[in-house]
Amino acid sequence: MENVILWIDQHLGISPAVQGRILASLLICLILWFLRRLVVRAVWSRTDDVRTRYVWRKSSAYAAFFLGVVLVGRLWLPSVHSVATFLGLFSAGVAIALKDPVSNLAGWLFIIWRRPFELQDRIQVGDVAGDVIDIAPFQFTLLEIGNWVQADQSTGRVVALPNSKVFTEPVANYGKGFQFIWNEIPVLITFESNWERAQELLLEIGRRHAENLGETAARRIREAARKYLIFYSKLTPIVYTSVRDSGVLLTLRFLCEPRRRRGVETAIWEDVLREFRKCDDVDFAYPTQRFYNNALEGKPGAGGRVRLDTAPAATSKETGTEPPKGGVGAPR
Last residue of a domain, one of 124, 142, 173: 173
Look at residue 285 and tell me if it is in a domain: no
pLDDT (tens digit per residue) in 308-324 = 555 444 433 333 444 44
Same domain? For 34 and 77 the reply is: yes
CATH classification at residue 186: 3.30.70.100
Look at residue 274 and tell me if it is in a domain: yes
Look at residue 206 and tell me if it is in a domain: yes
pLDDT (tens digit per residue) in 4-48 = 656 665 666 666 677 677 888 888 888 888 888 888 888 888 887
Same domain? For 214 and 130 the reply is: no
280: closest CA among 190, 155, 219?
190
User: What's the domain range around 60?
Assistant: 2-97
140-159: average pLDDT:
89
pLDDT (tens digit per residue) in 260-283 = 889 999 999 999 999 999 999 999
Same domain? For 166 and 186 the reply is: no
Last residue of a domain, one of 137, 156, 173: 173
Look at residue 128 and tell me if it is in a domain: yes
Look at residue 130 and tell me if it is in a domain: yes
Same domain? For 6 and 74 the reply is: yes
Same domain? For 91 and 122 the reply is: no
Contacts 24+ apart (CB under 8 A), 24-29: 24/75, 25/72, 25/75, 25/76, 28/68, 28/71, 28/72, 28/75, 29/68, 29/72
Confidence of residue 90 (pLDDT cuts 50, 70, 90): low
Same domain? For 71 and 148 the reply is: no
Last residue of a domain, one of 63, 97, 131: 97
Count structural domains, the chain.
3
Question: For the chain, how long is the longest CA-to-CA vector?
Answer: 131
Same domain? For 218 and 260 the reply is: yes
Task: Work out the burial of residue 252: count CB atoms within 10 Å of its CB; fewer than 13 is exposed, 13-18 middle, 19 or more buried.
Answer: buried
Look at residue 246 and tell me if it is in a domain: yes
How far is 54 from 153, CA to CA, in rounded Å? 24
Residue-level length of the chain: 332
Look at residue 323 and tell me if it is in a domain: no
* High-pLDDT (> 90) share of the chain, %: 32
pTM exceeds 0.85, yes or no: no
pLDDT for 42: 83
Same domain? For 85 and 124 the reply is: no
Same domain? For 193 and 167 the reply is: no
pLDDT (tens digit per residue) in 163-179 = 999 999 999 998 877 77
**pLDDT at residue 325 is higher than 50:** no
CATH classification at residue 145: 2.30.30.60
Look at residue 79 and tell me if it is in a domain: yes
Same domain? For 72 and 43 the reply is: yes
- Residue 74 CA to chain centroid, in angstroms? 45
**pLDDT at residue 253 is higher than 90:** yes
Same domain? For 149 and 192 the reply is: no
Q: Cα angle vertex 311, ends 309, 317, to 5°?
A: 95
Same domain? For 212 and 265 the reply is: yes
